[in-house]
Structure 1
């Protein structure tokens, strides 16, 4: 009985599958990033974030809101 991974085509298929998984993961990670422009006290800055909400972004950037 021949071991399955000794067959050349199976090795190539496993390697191709591993590469495809890594590439798909990178694409999903990058596509989840957002670029936003934030203005704090009149100073504008462009920020790249993965925050899901504005509140999470403000917390990530250590921005506290006043009562106004």
Structure 2
């Protein structure tokens, strides 16, 4: 009799685990769907302007640096 109760308990626990895993899988799939929607509906990044910066931005040539 004791072994039958142990088997019933194990069967019940595996059924509970299956339900838990199924719920986790559904949650993960909903998160993936939300992330996919966010990625597809995102606005594209505006292209940066690659113009030449002003001359004073560039470092001074070594020949113009005075030694102290």
The TM-score normalised by the length of structure 2 is 0.45
The TM-score normalised by the length of structure 1 is 0.45
Larger Rg: 2
Higher helix share: 2
The structure with higher relative contact order (CA 8 Å, sep 6+) is: 1
Higher strand share: 1
